[in-house]
Amino acid sequence: MRKINSVCVFCGSSPGSDPDYTIAARQLGQLLGQQKITLVYGGSNIGLMRSIADACLAEGGHVIGVMPQGLIDREVAYTDLKEFHIVESMSIRKEKMAELSDAFIAMPGGIGTLDEIFEAMSWNQLEIMDKPVALLNTKGFYDQLVSFLDYTVKQRFVRPEHRQNLLVNHDPGQLLSDIESYVSLKVDSKWIDDLKAQTARRIDGL
């Protein structure tokens, strides 16, 4: 079992079209607060981001916000948080959140959420880090994304191990349990040699 002290949650600055997204954010925030797991998130005071932060705080949990100055200037920062990191850029924001977190969860969200969770997945793939990465699949929000990832495996652009390392569950409590019991699947280092050989064969065949 992994000891999880902090979880970075990526989610929408919008509440979305379905009230169940907000309910799920509150449930996850409550669980984090009750289990004394620090919530690391983007520091916003709107949308699902505000909902999960409020729910965690209401349970006595610790919440860390991370936001670039440009967004703070738009008055969307949750300035009441006891710990808030102001960074220079969105890239540094992701690096800081990763530094502060033992695991990552993506809730329903938009382009920013997808960018953040895919970067975390790529860091695991490149062995820059080895931390659980998960999707909270509320109301099947990520079903089509999961299907697409399965398709990329079939097309041999993603290794099966890297796809299987992505945890997916619709239940917040079960997802946290999955994160604690996570053991990453490793890819044999010779996979790069295999790609080199495949590339050479394709070039020779042109």
Q: What angle do CA 28, 101, 117 make, to 5 degrees?
A: 70
Whether 154 has a pLDDT exceeding 90, the answer reads: yes
Spell out where the chain has E strands.
6-10, 38-41, 63-68, 83-87, 103-106, 133-136, 166-169
pLDDT band per the 50, 70, 90 thresholds, residue 1? confident
Pull the structure tokens for residue 151: 């398709």
DSSP code at position 141: T
Query: Could you tell me which CATH number the domain at 6-205 has?
Result: 3.40.50.450
- pLDDT tens for each residue of 7-32: 999 999 999 999 999 999 999 999 99
Q: Which residues have C-beta within 8 Å of that of residue 155, sequence separation ≥ 6? A: none
Structure tokens belonging to residue 96: 């800081």
User: φ and ψ at 8, to 5 degrees?
Assistant: -90, 125
Mean pLDDT, all residues of the chain: 94
How close are the terminal C-alpha atoms of the chain, in Å?
A: 50
The reported pLDDT for the residue numbered 93 is 97
Answer for the pair 15, 111: CB distance below 8 angstroms, yes or no. Answer: no
For residue 189, what pLDDT is reported?
A: 67
When pLDDT is cut at 50, 70 and 90, the band that residue 204 belongs to is low
Q: Would you kindly state where each structural domain of the chain is located, as residue ranges?
A: 6-205
